[in-house]
Chains A and B, each alone.
Chain A
Amino acid sequence: MKKANKRVIPGFGLSMGITISILSIVVLIPLASLVVFTTGMDIGEILSTITRSRVLASFEVSFITALIASLINAVMGVVLAWVLVRYDFPCKRLLDGMIELPFALPTAVAGIALTSLTADTGLIGGFFAQFGVKIAYTRVGIIVALVFIGIPFVVRAVQPVLEKLDASYEEAAGVLGASRTRIFWKVIFPEIRPAVFTGFGLAFGRCLGEYGSVVFIAGNQPYETEITPLIIMSELQEYDYASATAIALVMLLVSFLILFLVNLIQIRNAKILKGGN
């Protein structure tokens, strides 16, 4: 009970207990079985599986497209959240309501719809085809699909924080003569940075693992547009559980690392913020 003096607020035992038990059943035990399954293989086998040139190429494809897509999402997400929180304009509620729609559409349907739009016979694809730009069946197509599925993460992470943010700060800064861009970078952005990172991290992780929509739009050419989840799927189709789980484990570790970094940054930020107070 030594630490209890710090914990004035009640409910630590209850909330931790429930958190950890649900977490164990839904996440930890199933993930552990993946790890257990892989420990059955020897290290050399795992390494030779994950360093096959085609697998490495797929890591590259997945990583680059996910990174670009989540950067786009981070920027657009902040813009959207900003517009939705700070401005009044017609159809605002409508715009606000649209944000979650990508979640509700099954990813496969999203993939099919986006492909038919961006193929060179489609509405958007046809427009770009005039300039010799191909969207569907290239990496650009993959990025389009990933932006689609990732956008709600950033918007919905940033929006509540912006809403809570006191406008008086900026007003004060404005009165003091700071320019708007300066206010944004110096006053507002530090406040929403943790939320942006969270949204970015979640979107990035989700994009890395996305399968359903990407397989339709990607073209799936080995070395060019073949993503890692597709490789896992093809290993499964060959009943090669060992290779599939080995590659899956790599992806899992990468996701975990990304999230861990994001959380580190976020918690550090929270501390700085509190210290500032």
Chain B
Amino acid sequence: MHSESKGSKAVKWILIGISFLFVFLMLVLPLITVIAESLQQGFAVYAEAVADEYTVKAVLLTLEATVFAVAINTVFGLFAAWALTKFRFKGKKLLSTLIDLPVTVSPIIAGLIFVLTFGRQSPIYPLLQELDIKIVFAVPGIILATIFVTFPFISRELIPVLEAQGTDEEEAAALMGAKGFTIFRRITFPHIKWAFLYGIVLCAARAMGEFGAVSVLSGHLRGKTNTLPLHVEILFNEFKYVPAFAVSSILVMMAIVILIIRSVVEYIGKREKDNVR
């Protein structure tokens, strides 16, 4: 890489140019539109929409669902990636396909299946009633749907990396008598650190923005089961164009905060690595 020819330099800048153009047109411009619309009627209207009691409750619910989704998917992702890459067994392809499936299931279908499983038409509904457990049209349903749509995000990030790394190092360590957790912490984790971080960020970002599945499951109870994206939808449907965009901009900012945290962690991590060298 040190001796780049003139041709490759041109390629470099062309590719960078394409990347910036693409990201600007496809990703940044829509966001600018959101922010511009939200400030259309001045800052006071914006502040009012953001500070609204129901908006605040929606933010809290969204955070709750996101935290649950990230926590459960982290546990799942680590174990699933470990199982899928460190061992050989029958049905591996099937298992890994099933893990990916939720991403490709239409959000509407995702909501529908939970309604069919836990709703009034379901055979277990009387039992849930008896135990006074509410799943659909209550917070647990929202959390379940959020976990569902972000299900493979963490394992998906880890699997390619672990696959590329192979199993030699772990096998060697195991033969030398190291315990499972030690192997994971000392050998595997350093390899997957960054992929893991990407996975969490991806999962958190997607969890916050999930709309379709949650919308089928939430019941839209104002102040109780409305997440931020649902609150946006409701405002929009109520002909409150500007507040709807103002509330969306909160989501954009939450995403930006997560991304900044990621960059900082990444930066510190990479600097440490350089120092060790």
Direct contact of A and B (CB under 8 A): yes
Residues of chain A touching chain B, judged by Cβ–Cβ distance below 8 Å, are: 6-12, 14-16, 18-20, 22-23, 26-31, 33-34, 37, 76, 79-80, 82-84, 86-87, 89, 91, 93, 95-110, 112-114, 116-117, 123-124, 144, 147-148, 151-153, 156-157, 159-161, 163-164, 167, 171, 180, 191, 194-195, 198, 201-202, 204-206, 208-212, 228-229, 232-233, 236, 244-245, 248, 251-252, 255-256, 258-260, 262-264, 267, 270, 273-274, 277
Q: A7-B87, A33-B113, A97-B260 are in contact. Are A202 and B93 (CB under 8 A)?
A: no
- Min distance, Cβ B266 to any Cβ of chain A, angstroms: 9
Contacts of B122 in A (CB 8 A): 33
A14→B76 CA distance, assembly (Å): 11
**Contact assessment for A34 and B104 in the assembled complex, using a CB-CB cutoff below 8 Å:** no
**Contact assessment for A232 and B106 in the assembled complex, using a CB-CB cutoff below 8 Å:** yes
**Contact assessment for A205 and B23 in the assembled complex, using a CB-CB cutoff below 8 Å:** no
Q: A104-B252, A180-B8, A255-B101 are in contact. Are A26 and B151 (CB under 8 A)?
A: yes
Interface segment, B45-53, B163-171, B218-226?
B163-171
B29 at the interface (CB under 8 A from A): yes
Task: Give the nearest-CB partner of B33 in chain A.
Answer: A113
A112→B244 CA distance, assembly (Å): 11
Task: Give the nearest-CB partner of A163 in chain B.
Answer: B194
Contact of B27 among A84, A89, A101, A267 (CB under 8 A): A101
Contact of B157 among A26, A144, A160 (CB under 8 A): A160
- Min distance, Cβ A47 to any Cβ of chain B, angstroms: 19
Contacts of A110 in B (CB 8 A): 30
Contact of B211 among A9, A31, A123, A212 (CB under 8 A): A212
B208 at the interface (CB under 8 A from A): yes
**Contact assessment for B198 and A156 in the assembled complex, using a CB-CB cutoff below 8 Å:** yes
**Contact assessment for B174 and A10 in the assembled complex, using a CB-CB cutoff below 8 Å:** yes
Contacts of B152 in A (CB 8 A): 202
Q: A80-B23, A108-B229 are in contact. Are A259 and B100 (CB under 8 A)?
A: yes
**Contact assessment for B104 and A206 in the assembled complex, using a CB-CB cutoff below 8 Å:** yes
A255→B171 CA distance, assembly (Å): 35
A interface: dominant SS: helix
- Min distance, Cβ A105 to any Cβ of chain B, angstroms: 6
Q: A28-B98, A259-B101 are in contact. Are A109 and B34 (CB under 8 A)?
A: yes
**Contact assessment for A202 and B105 in the assembled complex, using a CB-CB cutoff below 8 Å:** no
- Min distance, Cβ A158 to any Cβ of chain B, angstroms: 9
A23→B258 CA distance, assembly (Å): 27
- Min distance, Cβ A63 to any Cβ of chain B, angstroms: 13
Contact code string B85-126 (vs A, CB < 8 Å = 1, else 0): 011110011111111111111111100111011000010000
Contacts of A252 in B (CB 8 A): 101, 105, 109
Contacts of B22 in A (CB 8 A): 76, 79-80
Task: Give the nearest-CB partner of B3 in chain A.
Answer: A174
Q: A106-B232, A164-B165, A232-B108 are in contact. Are A259 and B97 (CB under 8 A)?
A: yes
**Contact assessment for A10 and B100 in the assembled complex, using a CB-CB cutoff below 8 Å:** no
Interfacial residues of chain B within 136-165, with CB under 8 A of chain A in the complex: 144, 147-148, 151-152, 156-157, 160-161, 163-165
Task: Give the nearest-CB partner of A229 in chain B.
Answer: B106
Contact of A10 among B18, B94, B183 (CB under 8 A): B183
**Contact assessment for A26 and B93 in the assembled complex, using a CB-CB cutoff below 8 Å:** no
**Contact assessment for B112 and A245 in the assembled complex, using a CB-CB cutoff below 8 Å:** yes
**Contact assessment for B144 and A26 in the assembled complex, using a CB-CB cutoff below 8 Å:** yes
- Min distance, Cβ B151 to any Cβ of chain A, angstroms: 6
A206→B64 CA distance, assembly (Å): 25
A104→B263 CA distance, assembly (Å): 17
Task: Give the nearest-CB partner of A89 in chain B.
Answer: B16
Contact of A95 among B8, B23, B108, B252 (CB under 8 A): B23
Task: Give the nearest-CB partner of A90 in chain B.
Answer: B16
Contacts of A147 in B (CB 8 A): 26
Contacts of A91 in B (CB 8 A): 20
A249→B107 CA distance, assembly (Å): 13
Contact of A103 among B76, B174, B202 (CB under 8 A): B202
Contacts of A212 in B (CB 8 A): 107, 211-212
B59 at the interface (CB under 8 A from A): no
B251 at the interface (CB under 8 A from A): yes
**Contact assessment for A29 and B117 in the assembled complex, using a CB-CB cutoff below 8 Å:** yes
A202→B31 CA distance, assembly (Å): 24
